[in-house]
Amino acid sequence: MIDNTAKATEIIRNHILFSMGGSLIPVPIADTIAITGVQLDMIHQLSKLYQVNYRDTYGKTVLVSFVGNGLSRTWASLLKTIPVIGPIIGTVSLAVFSGAMTFAIGEVYLMHLEQGGTLLDFDWKRYEAYFRERFKEGLLRVGQFKSEETNDSSISDKEPSDPQLNQLQKLHELADLLAKGAISQEEYEEMKAKIKGKF
């Protein structure tokens, strides 16, 4: 079981990073599809690790249970409950949010598996409070993962990684503003060109 837990932790961590990458796709629907695919693959891999029968329909049912139980209305309030971090995240939240969400889903499903559960008997209500705790912790962990990625870069200490990350963050902010209707398509294209020109 210890070995399984270590492997499960690695699976979750990898998928957090994948989901953060998917969130940076500057097309609203495409990024959601990418993140959902990553989270579904995580459930699949965890199921396989614990030798639980997996089918896409079962995995999707579990994944939908996280989104379809009022969480879409409480995510913003969850962000606000984190002192200092909430205001800082602002419009750059999708990458952080996606990573934290993936972490929470992975942790909840892992607990369910370690208690002998399967995809078929997953009950969202049993884990709602635990999910919220894991989500808050995930917001903090995502920041640590970003730092680790920067520090582990074998190319150089700062220069190649920081400008690229800044550019991706700024492009994502811009896409988010466009999606919310805060800027027009023309303004989006103009500002995007300026951001790309700076880096």
Ordered by start, the domain boundaries in the chain are: 2-152, 156-199
Does the structure show a pLDDT above 50 at 146? yes
Q: How far is the C-alpha of 118 from the C-alpha of 120, rounded, in Å? A: 5
The 10s digit of each residue's pLDDT in 101-145 is: 899 999 999 999 999 999 999 988 888 888 888 888 888 888 666
Q: How far is the C-alpha of 22 from the C-alpha of 109, rounded, in Å? A: 21
The pLDDT-based confidence of 181 (bands split at 50, 70, 90) is: low
Tokens of 178: 């466009």
pTM above 0.75, yes or no: no
Q: How far is the C-alpha of 102 from the C-alpha of 91, rounded, in Å? A: 19
Residue 108's pLDDT is 94
Instruction: Tell me how far the alpha carbon of residue 36 is from its chain's centroid.
Output: 9
The pLDDT-based confidence of 68 (bands split at 50, 70, 90) is: low
Q: What is the average pLDDT across 51-58?
A: 89
Q: Which residue has the higher pLDDT, 143 or 82?
A: 143
- The phi and psi torsions of 25 (rounded to 5 degrees) equal -65, 120
Q: How far is the C-alpha of 170 from the C-alpha of 165, rounded, in Å? A: 9
- For the stretch 39-48, what's the b/e string if a residue is b when 16 or more beta carbons lie within 10 angstroms of its beta carbon? bbbbbbbbbe
The 10s digit of each residue's pLDDT in 3-53 is: 788 899 999 999 988 888 776 666 666 667 788 888 999 999 999 999 999
3-state secondary structure of 199: coil
Q: How far is the C-alpha of 181 from the C-alpha of 147, rounded, in Å? A: 32
Residue 10's contacts (CB-CB under 8 Å, 6 or more residues apart) are none
Q: Which of 3-12, 66-75, 141-150 has the highest mean pLDDT?
A: 3-12
Q: How far is the C-alpha of 192 from the C-alpha of 199, rounded, in Å? A: 11
Give the Å distances, CA to CA, from 97 to 23, 36, 72, 81, 134.
9, 13, 12, 14, 12
Q: Is residue 94 within 8 Å of residue 173, measured between CB atoms?
A: no
Tokens of 175: 């896409």
